[in-house]
Amino acid sequence: MAKNIIYYGPPGTGKTYHMQKLISDYTDYKITDDEIIKAYTNYSQDWLLFALIILQSNTTMTTEEIINKVDSLNLGYKGHPSEKLTEHSLNEDELITKSQPRIFFENDGRWYVDRLRLFEYEPEFGNKYIKSEAIDRRYDFVTFHQSFVYEDFIEGIRPVCNTNDKVEIDNQNTNSTIKYSIQDGIFKQLCQKAIDNPHKQYALFIDEINRGSIAEIFGELISLIETDKRKGQYCELETILPYSKKPFSVPSNLDIIGTMNSADKSIAGIDIALRRRFEFVNRPCDYDSLKNTISANGIDPNNVEGIDIISLLKALNQRLELLLDENHIIGHAYFIKVKSAADIIDVLRNKIIPLLEEFFFDDLQKIQLVLNDLDENGELRTNAIYTHKELDVEKILPFVGDYDIENKKTYKLNEEISVESIIKIYQT
């Protein structure tokens, strides 16, 4: 049965990252035994051997299955796969010394490869160990925006350059002419691939789905994408497309998976027709995921050169939820790659502060409240991150006439952000 899912949540909660992990479920690898043998012979890395074996299977594998596969390759491997898999696993075990890359995960006795972490560790993995033609991608990816329309998504009339004809354009002779033809959009093209391969599951990933005009982009297909209205289902629907005048239905082996930023546009503002046809899954700020990921990189999340990242993020979010709402909190993904205090300062300066300025563009003093920059008397702390100065009317304007002009505060980011100024955010 097909799935229609939209993952939503505040900025930085890993929606797009989660989508990228799901993409691996729609990617097949046609890796030969000779390629595995060559890679292991050239690089002699156990984690590489097991990663290629599991990827070759295009599924999860038990330790016994991995052992049998290693034996069949006649590599003369003397170690025990379970030890190396555990050493490079994401599973937490204080008794086992972990090594990079940490890319394996064990669940119910079966091992799988976290492909996203694998490609983060070895960006050239595909080019280095796998032939490009051996990768079967059963998905397409698109980002909706205000200019994205039905013709891009389903079908439309597009110009085509014919190089066999001569034509004069702007008094210059050229060997091409412009003609117009009906061309399929990204969704229709993927539907055809799914129809041609009914025993495989396909997916269309739509990032920022709420940034496009849903009614205009989906058109009459808004009804056809319902899972029980798909091709071959008991309530199957078919429509005649407006340009090609051909019948069209959406196959049952095509999933539609989208993301949306709830701070950018609330869920309540989404077209009701879309809400009825999709399952909405909330992606909140995940403190455990942040803690585990940073720990997997060999960093103590509770003491990054004196800074407790978890306490910092929780303090920021408690204040944001109080001053705004749960749709405007800060996601864990902003801090997911930090390794030092300098990284944290960089995230605050270049990502968090600009986001807060967007949230509180008409009341910047609230940024000081979020960052705990004011003491109990409302005075600016000496180590404030977001500072201000007051413009005194009497000192600036010797004469104001009949105008009622009040003193005004101007705000700016402190050029020097110290570890102590960050710690004071969560240590009141």
**What average pLDDT does range 55-78 have in this prediction?**
92
- Between 83 and 178, where is the model more confident? 83
Residue 125 pLDDT > 80:
yes
- Say which residue the tokens 């046609």 belong to: 30
The string of pLDDT tens digits covering residues 393-414 is: 989 999 988 999 999 999 999 9
310 is written with which tokens?
């978890």
Residue 97 pLDDT > 70:
yes
Residue 94's pLDDT band, with cuts at 50, 70 and 90, is low
Per cent of the chain over pLDDT 70 is 93
Residue 243's pLDDT band, with cuts at 50, 70 and 90, is very high
What pLDDT score was predicted for residue 275?
80
Residue 93 pLDDT > 70:
no
What pLDDT score was predicted for residue 96?
66
- Cα dihedral 259, 261, 262, 266, rounded to 10, equals -90
What pLDDT score was predicted for residue 388?
95
- Cα dihedral 400, 406, 412, 418, rounded to 10, equals 130
**What average pLDDT does range 134-148 have in this prediction?**
91
Residue 316 near residue 330, CB atoms below 8 Å: yes
DSSP 332: G
Per cent of the chain over pLDDT 90 is 65
**Do you find a cis peptide bond into 101, omega within 30 degrees of 0?**
yes
Tell whether the torsion through CA atoms of 225, 227, 232 and 235 is positive or negative: negative
Residue 253's pLDDT band, with cuts at 50, 70 and 90, is very high
What pLDDT score was predicted for residue 80?
86
- Hey, which residues does 160 pair with through a beta bridge? 179
**Contacts for 285-289: CB closer than 8 Å, 24+ residues apart:** 285/9, 285/10, 285/12, 285/13, 285/313, 285/317, 285/329, 285/330, 285/331, 285/332, 286/13, 286/14, 286/332, 287/313, 287/314, 287/332, 289/14, 289/332
Residue 127's pLDDT band, with cuts at 50, 70 and 90, is confident
CATH number of the 139-282 domain: 3.40.50
* CA gap 254, 149 in Å, rounded: 21
The string of pLDDT tens digits covering residues 168-219 is: 545 555 556 777 788 999 999 999 999 999 999 999 999 988 888 888 898 8
Residue 261 pLDDT > 70:
yes
> CA–CA distance from 304 to each of 101, 164, 292, 297, 309 (Å)?
21, 65, 14, 12, 7
Which among 86, 58, 82 is positioned nearest to 70, based on CA atoms?
82
Highest mean pLDDT among 41-50, 97-106, 289-298: 41-50
Residue 358 pLDDT > 90:
yes
Residue 332 near residue 292, CB atoms below 8 Å: no
Residue 98 pLDDT > 90:
no
What pLDDT score was predicted for residue 146?
87
- Min mean pLDDT across 79-93, 183-197, 226-240, 249-263 is at 79-93
Residue 296 pLDDT > 90:
no
Residue 83 pLDDT > 80:
yes
What pLDDT score was predicted for residue 210?
84
Q: Is the pTM of this model over 0.85?
A: no
Which among 186, 182, 236, 242 is positioned nearest to 212, based on CA atoms?
186
The string of pLDDT tens digits covering residues 342-356 is: 999 999 999 999 999
